[in-house]
Amino acid sequence: MTEPELAGQVALVTGASYGLGRAITEELLKRGAKVMLTDISDRVEATTAELAATGHAVAHTRLDVTDRASVDAAVRETVSRFGRLDIFVNNAGWSKVMKPILELTAEDWDAYMDINIRGNLFCIQSAAEAMIAQGHGGRIIAIASTAACKPYKRAAAYCTSKSAIPMLTKAAALELGEFGITVNCVAPGPTTTETNLAHSSGAIDPKIGEEKRRREALIPLGKNDPVDIATAVAYFASPAARRVTGQMIVVEGGGLLLS
């Protein structure tokens, strides 16, 4: 019987409590990896318990991607618990405040840049240091967005922060390739996650909800399910992607084909 493609591999996933993070975790587990679930939310404990109850090799720890010491501590905990770190998926992100550009505050802007950009930098740095010390390479995967490809109204801070991720990915891939570390990112379009559904329903802002529902109804293949993003992440983590680095996979059902 053939071993699962990620057997013996250890992954750390940020923002793993629910939504994309949970789906990514479940996909990596299905493919044989052991996973450290991390999150700033206490929900990570219950999620980990549910997955452990099904027989998966999982653990959890708190992680705040805006705090380099917190990221380092989570990486150390992963290596201590499972003996190594092969795959780091930085899924944690911020998208819950959408305002016209003239209404953005410095605090709004800083929250996006701290979580979506600085957090990615800290995760790359910490993961790469651990992987270099181990001496057998590794995979670092970030989550961008179709907002890295086109602008959306009332989302200037979100679009700006997400558009920085593909370039940070390329720069890191260029520098870390000599250590056998690949760095890639996945750019989801609208996906049926808790946060996306809150935006689409109008629970966060009724006007934005109406605009999103109208736009999403036109997507040729329809909205993503979380597993669609998870399988793209798993590709970058798989043996099939061993020579793929500095790349972005866009998963969005054809929505970008529309004007």
Query: Which residues have a catalytic role annotated?
Result: 158
Burial of 108 (0-12, 13-18, 19+ CB in 10 A): middle
Phi, psi of 192 (to 5 degrees): -80, 65
Query: CA dist 66 to 16, 109, 130, 180, 221, Å?
Result: 16, 14, 18, 26, 35
For residues 83 and 11, what is the distance between their CA atoms, to the nearest angstrom? 11
How far lies 7's CA from each of 3, 33, 226, in Å? 6, 5, 23
The answer to whether the CB of 24 falls within 8 A of the CB of 89 is yes
